[in-house]
């Protein structure tokens, strides 16, 4: 039971605090200067505009996700201490994006997803800017060319209307997502070791996860990721009543929504332009942030990604 308790903690607010304070205490994490933070926001916003043009041209439905929606509603732009843009889209629309990506965006960006291999090893999909580097703790094992500044894309997966099938699907998603994350942690441990320092809570958090990953290490990281993708996308009913985000911060059951709320969009202000957000964004906020999402969190609870290395390339 201990290992599963530790893994649940790693995905919780307490787990975030362990990672944030632990990596920062090691003294090897880059604290972005205000100028670097603004430059990073400029890069990801430009990436978003390039993506949005392609999505419009090919009728690919998407909305903002997570902190990007919260920033739009609360700040009319980026959350001041945040550094990224998050998007989400139904599985069918992500399949459209995969088909046109290389032709439309491949000269500037690369696409990473569990089913695409390349050692990605994460449930979230990403658009990465070529010629840049932005390494957090889950990017350390990757080649520089695979570690670019990124936009995260969370897939709205179809799931069954029947309660029993939906519960089975959700349970399988949780299990496979856990195994994929553990398998990647086992893969990454040699690269993470230098960052633990004397922080035993941080070390134990990752070591317990790695022990589970070792049990499935007979599968390559790409094989484990592909199996996870197959489970996540197992329901092919693009008109099901429900959708879920297994790759989201609260996983399948914590991010189970009605399609009516998530697959329709309204416009909201973001950095001087209008971006699409889910029609049912209030229920989405309650699921992720609780009822007091308009209140600024205390400084110690403000989420920032630990950055070990950053390089903006030559075009910024």
Angle, helices 13-25 vs 200-215, to 10°: value is 120
Q: What is the pTM of this model?
A: 0.92
Length of the chain: 316
**Per-residue pLDDT at 27:** 59
Domain boundaries defined on the chain: 2-290+307-311
Average pLDDT for runs of 10 along the chain of length 316? 47 49 62 92 97 98 97 95 94 98 98 96 97 92 91 98 98 96 95 86 89 97 98 98 96 97 97 97 92 86 82 77
Go through 34-47 and write b for each residue having 16 or more CB atoms within 10 A of its CB, e for each that does not.
eeebebbbebbbeb
DSSP 62: -
Predicted pLDDT of residue 297? 83
DSSP states of 107-164? TTEEEE-GGG-TT---SSEEEEETT-EEE-TTSTTS-GGG---EEEEEEEEEE-SSHH
CA distance 205 to 19: 9
Interior angle at CA 133, CA 216 and CA 93, nearest 5: 65
Q: Given this model, what pLDDT does residue 265 score? A: 97
In this structure, what are the phi and psi dihedrals at residue 100, rounded to the nearest 5 degrees?
-105, -5
Give me 181's structure tokens. 């994350």
């Amino acid at each position: 039971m201990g290992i599963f308790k530790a893994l649940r903690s790693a995905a919780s607010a307490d787990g975030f605090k362990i990672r944030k304070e632990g990596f920062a205490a090691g003294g090897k994490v880059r604290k972005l200067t205000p100028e670097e933070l603004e430059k990073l926001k400029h890069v990801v916003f430009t990436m978003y505009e390039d993506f949005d043009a392609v999505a419009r041209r090919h009728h690919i439905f998407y909305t903002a996700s997570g902190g990007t929606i919260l920033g739009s509603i609360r700040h009319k732009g980026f959350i001041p201490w945040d550094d990224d843009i998050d998007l989400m889209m139904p599985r069918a629309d992500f399949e459209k994006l995969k088909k046109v990506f290389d032709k439309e965006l491949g000269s500037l960006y690369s696409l990473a997803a569990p089913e695409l291999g390349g050692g990605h090893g994460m449930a979230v999909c990403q658009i990465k800017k070529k010629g840049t580097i932005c390494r957090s703790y889950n990017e350390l094992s990757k080649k520089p060319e695979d570690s670019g500044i990124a936009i995260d894309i969370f897939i709205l997966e179809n799931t069954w209307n029947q309660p029993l099938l939906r519960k089975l699907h959700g349970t399988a998603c949780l299990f496979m997502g856990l195994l994929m994350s553990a398998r990647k942690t086992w893969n990454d441990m040699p690269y993470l070791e230098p960052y633990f320092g004397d922080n035993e809570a941080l070390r134990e958090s990752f070591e317990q996860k790695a022990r589970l990953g070792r049990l499935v290490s007979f599968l390559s990281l790409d094989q484990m990721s592909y199996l996870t993708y197959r489970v996540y996308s197992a329901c092919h009913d693009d008109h099901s009543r429900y959708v879920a985000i297994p790759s989201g911060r609260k996983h399948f059951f914590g991010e189970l929504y009605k399609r009516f709320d998530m697959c329709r969009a309204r416009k909201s202000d973001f950095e001087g332009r209008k971006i699409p957000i889910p029609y049912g964004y209030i229920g989405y906020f309650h699921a992720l942030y609780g009822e007091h999402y308009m209140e600024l969190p205390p400084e110690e609870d403000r989420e920032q990604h630990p950055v070990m290395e950053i390089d903006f390339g030559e075009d910024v």
